[in-house]
């Protein structure tokens, strides 16, 4: 039906859309295969001043015909150049030949079209045959793999910070393809860094029982749901990865960086010390065999409370390229972090001298606590400097 209606509409309105083309640019001797010249030759032929072929080439016959038209229409000079005066006169002649379309004629044509459409609709209604109705899909999908915790555990550098080092990923499968809607809802609410469908990573609170529901709808909107539950452990998490350049001038004391500790357990935790690894790849004669002090403070400024001050002496020999000196050092950290508390601390160095180039890395290898509880994370401070040109 739609094709017939479109065809009728085109046939009815074609007369209103038809009009004579006009000349909009100058034409002159020497033009070849030009659409404007083709139009001009057809016009001159209709005017009875041109009897040559319609080729689109403006040569002697076309120029002579233009002269005849100019002489007839009293256009001077009559030199055979189809310029502004000649174009204007030709467009006037074309306009006079175009039949005017009146408002009454348009209304009459529209009325005829409406009548034809109505007759066509009535005819189609009579010819329409009954069709069998396809029953709606009311069967919900079913799980061929029940929802389960696919991945769980601690990760480094959580996108949600020190509070959320524990990650959970769910997995499931249904017996239908073309699933249009899948979702996971948990009680209590669980945090998400970035939604990614089934690959979404969830970051729960510590020591919490979670009850989650996986909901799936097929293309017909039929739902299916299944539950999955899990419990998160306690954790003490320490987070910092910090890279900086050696100072251009000696600064004493010099701050290596800040770190944050979060107590995600059900009780206060007393920490004991940090076991650290010092990797020395510095080109620094003033620091060779030099004694320095590593200082831990309860806060982020040099005026904050001193926690511990530990001496360390750099090895006398310069390290070889690709073979840095490695030393282990224990830093005292007699600090109690309360349940659910998140606190900031800082690491400083005293008596540290100028470094020409190279690297110095100080990182934790283990966090010891008086309370028997496992810890995750750590800090890693790296100072670098490129060799001078």
**Are 296 and 349 within 8 A, CB to CB?**
no
CATH for 236-385, among 2.60.120, 1.20.120, 2.40.50, 2.40.350? 2.60.120
Q: Indicate the range of 58-72, 147-161, 197-211, 349-363 predicted with least confidence.
A: 147-161
Note the pLDDT of residue 136: 79
Residue 120: CA count within 13 A, CB half-sphere: 15
Kindly list the domain boundaries of the chain, sorted by start residue.
Answer: 20-97, 143-233, 236-385
Strands 209-217, 223-231: pairing is antiparallel
Tell me: pLDDT of 16 over 60: no
More confident residue, 1 or 78: 78
Greatest CA separation for the chain: 116
How confident is the model at residue 225, as a pLDDT? Answer: 93
pLDDT band of 110, cuts 50, 70, 90? confident
How much is the pLDDT for 179?
A: 66
Domain 20-97, what fold? Muramoyl-pentapeptide Carboxypeptidase; domain 1 (1.10.101)
- Alpha-carbon distance of 205 to 202, in angstroms, equals 10
Cα 257 to its chain centre, rounded Å, is 33
Q: Band of the pLDDT at 20, cuts 50, 70, 90? A: low
pLDDT interval class at 97 (50, 70, 90): confident
pLDDT, tens only, 236-272: 998 887 888 999 899 999 999 999 999 999 999 999 9
Residue 387 pLDDT exceeds 80 = yes
The pLDDT of residue 9: 46
Whether residue 371 has pLDDT greater than 50: yes
Which pLDDT belongs to residue 6? 42
CA angle 382-383-389, nearest 5°? 140
Looking at domain 143-233, its CATH class is mainly beta
Q: Is the pTM above the cut of 0.75? A: no
Q: Tell me, what's the pLDDT at 99? A: 53
186 pLDDT tier (thresholds 50, 70, 90) = very high
């Amino acid at each position: 039906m739609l094709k017939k209606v479109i065809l009728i509409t085109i046939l009815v309105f074609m007369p209103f859309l038809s009009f004579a083309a006009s000349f909009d640019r100058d034409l002159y001797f020497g033009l070849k295969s030009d659409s404007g010249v083709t139009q001009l030759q057809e016009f001159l032929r209709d005017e009875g001043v041109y009897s040559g072929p319609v080729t689109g080439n403006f040569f002697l016959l076309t120029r002579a015909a233009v002269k005849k038209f100019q002489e007839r229409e009293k256009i001077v000079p009559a030199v055979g150049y189809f310029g502004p005066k000649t174009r204007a006169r030709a467009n006037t002649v074309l306009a006079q030949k175009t039949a005017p379309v009146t408002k009454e004629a348009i209304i009459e044509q529209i009325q005829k079209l409406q009548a034809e459409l109505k007759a066509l609709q009535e005819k189609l209604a009579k010819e329409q045959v009954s069709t069998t109705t396809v029953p709606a899909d009311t069967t919900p999908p079913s799980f061929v793999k029940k929802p389960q915790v696919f991945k769980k555990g601690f990760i480094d550098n959580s996108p949600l910070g020190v509070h959320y080092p524990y990650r959970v990923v769910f997995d499931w499968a249904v017996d239908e393809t073309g699933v249009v809607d899948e979702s996971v809802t948990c009680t209590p609410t669980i945090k998400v860094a970035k939604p990614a469908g089934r690959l979404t990573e969830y970051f729960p609170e510590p020591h919490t029982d979670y009850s989650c529901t996986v909901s799936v709808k097929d293309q017909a909107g039929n739902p299916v749901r299944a539950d999955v539950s899990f419990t998160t452990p306690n954790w003490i998490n320490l987070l910092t990865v910090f890279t900086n350049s050696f100072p251009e001038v000696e600064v004493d004391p010099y701050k290596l960086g800040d770190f944050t500790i979060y107590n995600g357990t059900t009780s206060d935790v007393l920490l004991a010390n940090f076991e650290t690894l010092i990797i020395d790849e510095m080109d620094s004669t003033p620091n060779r065999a030099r004694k320095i002090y590593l200082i831990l403070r309860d806060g982020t400024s040099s005026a904050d409370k001193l926690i511990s001050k530990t001496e360390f002496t750099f090895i006398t020999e310069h390290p070889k390229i690709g073979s840095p000196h490695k030393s282990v050092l224990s830093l005292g950290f007699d600090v109690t972090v309360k349940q659910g508390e998140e606190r900031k601390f800082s690491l400083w160095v005293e008596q540290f001298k100028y470094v020409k180039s190279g690297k110095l890395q100080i990182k934790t290898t283990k966090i010891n606590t008086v309370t028997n509880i496992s810890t995750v994370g750590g800090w890693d401070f790296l100072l670098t400097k490129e060799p001078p040109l």
